[in-house]
Amino acid sequence: MKAYLCSRNAHKAQELELLLPGWEVEPLDAADWPDEVGETYVENARAKARFGHGLAGADRWTIGEDSGLEVEALGGRPGLHSARYAPEGAPAIAKLLGELEGVPDRRARYVSELVAISPAGEEVRGTGTLAGRIAEESRGSGGFGFDPVFVPDGEERTVAELGDDWKARNSHRARAARGLLVALGAAFALAVAGCGSNSSANRRVLAAFFSYGERARKFAPMFPHEPGSLPCLLPGGPPPAKKLRATCSTDVSLVKRERAVVTLTEAWNHGAQAHTWFFFIRQNGEVESVVQEGVPAPQGKR
């Protein structure tokens, strides 16, 4: 799965690629990004993702991310304005330590909001926070931004000392990415449950399902999924592929907490075969395996 990250921050693209298994995340190169004028992180993340979607067209996903550091004793500042607080790195850290000099309450948290837009324009979101405190002095060389002065709850070292592997498992962005993956899984279940319905929203989500992952994409042309009677392409048919009439039914069941099986049954009424496809789908939306069973269709249904 290929995605553009709609941000100038190359660190974030690297982090997200580690956080979204199976995704290739490339920073989108744009001259004029929209100003961060939203009143929430989500609004800013969505504005970036939508702007990128407009530039990139419909050939891949676009991801917008907005994050910030909220310091309790500063009433939640710099928060939404973290990127503009001071030049990132040493100057921003010096300003923050200056504002907190002699302040005993060091509590703070990082917040990350991710908004992903599918090639079909569908939106999926994930949210993550990381609670901690601001250290008295800067330590460590990993991460970026305020990481040298941010000590997560339950740790003694700063995020910059804990390093990028720790960040990939525990950061606010890691948590938001996990939320995004779970939301994608839910979107897929919804997509299949929506199969057979006339609603354009259901069709768009279904399109998102079949655009996710190499395996799902491979099957997409075989399942155009018009409700009721479908024009289907017979697998393996010589080009140009013949359009055949069929009807379909779908079912979603949870085999294990973390794994769902989606059954797509195509009842071909062209006299060839009735096919049942079992898609084993992980909670993060990845198609784990696909099993196809075929039985002869009843005679005289041509």
- From 59, 66, 164, 251, active-site residue: 66
Could you tell me which of 80, 69, 25, 17 has the C-alpha nearest to residue 49? 25
d(CA 45, CA 65): 5
For the segment 109-148, give every residue that binds ligand IMP (CB under 6 A): 110, 143-147
121, two tokens: 């324009």
N residues, the chain: 302
Cα 78 from chain centroid (whole Å): 26
Residue number with CB closer to ligand IMP (86 or 252): 86
CB of 191 to ligand IMP, least distance (A): 30
Could you tell me which of 119, 126, 295, 141 has the C-alpha nearest to residue 212? 119
Could you tell me which of 101, 158, 151 has the C-alpha nearest to residue 131? 151
Alpha helix stretches (DSSP H) within 101-257: 159-170, 172-193, 200-211, 213-219
Pair type for strands 287-296 and 273-282: antiparallel
Residue number with CB closer to ligand IMP (7 or 211): 7
Main-chain dihedrals φ then ψ at residue 149, nearest 5 degrees: -120, 10
280, two tokens: 């084993």
The correct pick among 17, 72, 88, 123 for binding ligand IMP (CB under 6 A) is 88
Q: Does 202 bind ligand IMP (CB under 6 A)?
A: no
Size of the site for ligand IMP (CB under 6 A): 18
Q: What one-letter code names the amino acid at 294?
A: G
SS3 296: strand
Residue number with CB closer to ligand IMP (12 or 275): 12
SS3 300: coil
The correct pick among 20, 25, 67, 184 for binding ligand IMP (CB under 6 A) is 67
Q: Does 23 bind ligand IMP (CB under 6 A)?
A: no
The correct pick among 82, 118, 158, 250 for binding ligand IMP (CB under 6 A) is 82
For the segment 221-280, give every residue that binds ligand IMP (CB under 6 A): none
Q: What one-letter code names the amino acid at 124?
A: V
CB of 84 to ligand IMP, least distance (A): 8
CB of 102 to ligand IMP, least distance (A): 23
The correct pick among 36, 122, 266, 286 for binding ligand IMP (CB under 6 A) is 36
- Residue 66 catalytic? yes
d(CA 155, CA 152): 6
Residue number with CB closer to ligand IMP (49 or 69): 69
Angle between helices 172-193 and 159-170 in degrees, nearest 10: 10
CB of 146 to ligand IMP, least distance (A): 4
Q: Which stretch binds ligand IMP (CB under 6 A): 63-71, 192-200, 214-222, 263-271?
A: 63-71
What is the binding site for ligand IMP (CB under 6 A)? 7, 9, 36, 66-69, 82-83, 88, 92, 110, 143-147, 171
Question: Which residues does the annotation mark as catalytic?
Answer: 66
